[in-house]
Chains A and B, each alone.
Chain A
C-alpha cells in the first residue's frame, strides 16, 4: 500500500463519524481548513481545544499568559501535577495534538494585548473564540475583532451560570454594548455607618487594615487632613499602633474606640433614627482587655476547623492582637496592601469583620467565608466550563454551515439570524431546561465601542505633526469639523483647550501619553454637530516610501479591508492608484470614497 492510502485510512478512521455530524463533506472540508484563534487555555480553553481537535478543526492558535498552578488541576484537565509552573498554552497544545495528530496547534505563551497581535494578525483568522477569565482582556479582543471584522464567539462562566454568544461587527451587539460593573465600590456612608451585609463588614475590615498598616490616608476610614490623623476620633489611636512596642495594647485601645466609642457617638447623633435596627456597641474595656490577654498558646490555628469556625469576640481580639504584634514593627508598615492570600492579612480582616458584624446585627462569618467575600470568589465549576465550550463549538459550526465563516463570497445571512445567545442556568426553566437560548441583540446605538467607525492611516510618525494630522487627515480627508484627539485615558488635542495647544507642533511619535507611534489608536470625536467618532489606527510608513508627486502630503487613509491587511504592502499597492491632492479644507467631507469612513464590505 502507498502512503496516500495510509493517510486516507488514518483520515477515515479519525473523521468518518465527524463528517455527517457537522453537516456533510463540504462543511467538514471547511472545518478542517478553518483558522481558529483560541484566546485563553485555562478552564474553558482546555475544554474548547479538546472539542475543536476532536471535531476536526486542524488549524488552531492558542494564546495564554498564565502558567499552571496547583489549584488549576481539579478542572483544567489537560494539566497534570508535573506541569505545574509550565505555560498553559504550551502544555495544552501538547495534550490536544496527542488527541489528534492531524491537527496543527500553535501555542503562544503571551499576553493577547501585546502590540505584535495587531489588526493584521487578528484579520488572519476565520474566527476567534474567547476562553478568558477577565473583563479587560475580553474588551481588548472584542475591539480587535470589531476592527478586523472577524467573528468572535464569547463565553463566560460564574459558578453554575454561564453564557455563550457571538459578536460580529454591525450585525450583533458587541461585548461592550451593555455596561457591566467590573468591581463593586461601596459608598462611604454604608461602610462607615450603615453596613447591612457581611460584605460591608469585610470592606470595612480591609479599610481598617489599610488604616493601620497600609497607606492610611487612602483608607475610607481615615479622619483628618493632610497634616495627619484627627486626634479627636479613633484616628490617633489607630496611628499609634504603627511601630508601637506593645502593639497589642495600642490595638486594644484603637478597637475599643472603633467598636464602642465611635458607635455611641453615631448613636448620639441620631444617625440611626430612621434605620430598622440600631447598632449595639461592644464593651470597649472588654475588647481592650482581650487584646492584651491574647496569644493563648493552646489554640490551634493551623487546623482546618479553625478557618471554618465562627470566632467569638475574645478569639477575634486574640487574632487581631497577634497580627498587630507581628506586623506593626515590620518594614512594610505604611505600604501594606491587603491580599487575601497572605494569611496574616486575611486573619486580621476576618476577625475585624466579625467584630463589626456583631455590632450591626449581621451574622459573623468564618475566616473561610470571609476569604470568599474578600476575594469575591465564586468557585469555577468544571461542568459549566465544559457546557459553554461545547456550545461555542456548536455556534462555530452554525457559522460555517450558514457561510458566515468561510463563505463563498456571495450573500450570507446575518450572524444575528444564525446564532443565539445561550444562558446556562442553575435551576431549570418551567419547561425543565438548563440551557436557555435567546435572540442575539442588535448593535446598540449608544455603544461607544462598536458604533464608532474605524480607519487606518499610513504616515511617517516621526515627521508628521499633530497639526498636520488634525488639518489634513482629520479635517480635510475624514471630514471632521472640530475634532478632539484622545489616546486611552489622555487628551491630546481639543480646539478650545489652550493647555493642549503646545502639542500641535509635536510630531505624532513624540506626543504625550506614549505618543501616536506605529499601531497606536487615536480616538477622534467631532465636537461639532456631525457627532462623528472614529478610532484611527496609525500605521508608520517612512516618508521616503511615499511618492512625492502622487501624494505630496505623505498621508494615506486606508479603509475597510485595506486597514486590516498588511499596511505596508497594501500602502505600496495603493500608492500607484493614489489620487491627486484632495479639495480644500472648506469641503466638509472628503471627495474621494477611499478617505471617507465606511463599513467594509461583507465577506
Chain B
C-alpha cells in the first residue's frame, strides 16, 4: 500500500507486458508461499558477440521503503569478477547512485527496472576504471592478456546450463 509497493506493482505490470529477450525479473519466493515484493531476482543475458555471450548472470534487487525516491540495491549473486562490481557484489554504476555532489550520481525515481538491467548488461562488456575492485582494475591496467584470459574463465562459469531460473 506504500508508494514503494505501488510502484513495484507498476513495474511488474510493465515487465509482464514487455521485457527484453532473455531477461528475467520478478519478486522472490518467500518461504511461506507468498512472494516478497521488496526483493527481486533477476537474470541478465550477456550480449551476443560480447565477452559474456551466452552467459546468464543472476542478480538480486532490494527495494527500500522509500523506493523509488532512492535506488534499489543491486547485487550480483554470486559476486561477479568485474571491475565495476564491489567485492560484496554491489554494482558501481552511476544510474544507481544518489545525487551526491561529487561523483556522477544520477538515480532518478523515473528510472525503471528494465532500464537498470539494460544498463548493467551494457556495463558487462564496457567496464570503466573507478576503483571499485582494485585487483580486477589492476590486472586490466597492467596485464591485459592475463585479464582477457581471466574474463574468459569467469564467463565460462556462467554459460547457460539447466541450472538457471526458468525463463518466462
Contact = CB atoms under 8 A, between A and B. Distances in A.
Contact of B5 (A179, A222, A224, A489): A489
Interface in A334-357: none
Chain B, interface size category, equals: 35 or more
Given A189-B132, A275-B102, A527-B13, A181 B34 contact: no
Interface in B35-71: 35-38, 64-66, 68-71
B38 A489 contact: yes
A503 to B, nearest CB: 6
B118 interface: no
Interface in A212-267: 217, 220, 222-225, 230, 232-233, 265-266
A178 to B, nearest CB: 10
A179 B130 contact: no
B101 A196 contact: yes
B11 to A, nearest CB: 12
Interface residues of A, number: 62
Interface in B71-122: 71, 79, 86-88, 90, 92, 96-98, 100-103, 105, 109
B14 to A, nearest CB: 10
B162 interface: no
A270 B128 CA distance: 12
A233 B132 CA distance: 13
A497 B36 CA distance: 13
B20 interface: no
A486 B37 contact: yes
A298 interface: no
A111 interface: no
B134 interface: yes
A492 B30 CA distance: 10
A489 B37 contact: yes
Contacts of A232: 135
Nearest to A180: B69
A269 B35 contact: no
Contacts of B98: 184-187
B34 A512 contact: yes
Interface string B133-158: 01101100100000000000000000
Given A179-B3, A185-B64, A523-B1, A500 B69 contact: no
B6 A448 contact: yes
A554 B26 CA distance: 35
Query: Which of B2, B27, B131 has the most A CB atoms < 10 Å from its CB?
Result: B131
A512 B33 contact: yes
A497 B26 contact: yes
Contacts of B69: 179-182
A271 to B, nearest CB: 4
A568 interface: no
Given A176-B3, A187-B105, A196-B102, A512 B30 contact: yes
A223 B65 CA distance: 26
B87 A224 contact: yes
Nearest to B7: A448
B126 interface: no
Nearest to A185: B70
Given A179-B3, A193-B131, A521-B1, A230 B16 contact: no
Nearest to B10: A448
B9 interface: yes
A499 interface: yes
Contact of B92 (A183, A188, A265): A188
Contacts of A525: 9, 13
A486 B13 CA distance: 13
A223 B102 contact: no
Contacts of A521: 1
Sorted nearest first, the 3 A-B pairs with minimum C-beta distance are A448-B6, A491-B35, A512-B34
24 contacts: A176-B2, A176-B3, A182-B66, A187-B103, A187-B105, A188-B92, A189-B100, A189-B132, A190-B103, A190-B105, A194-B102, A224-B88, A230-B87, A271-B130, A448-B5, A449-B1, A489-B5, A489-B37, A491-B36, A491-B37, A496-B168, A513-B34, A525-B13, A527-B16
Given A187-B103, A487-B34, 6 more contacts: A183-B66, A197-B101, A222-B88, A269-B131, A449-B2, A449-B3
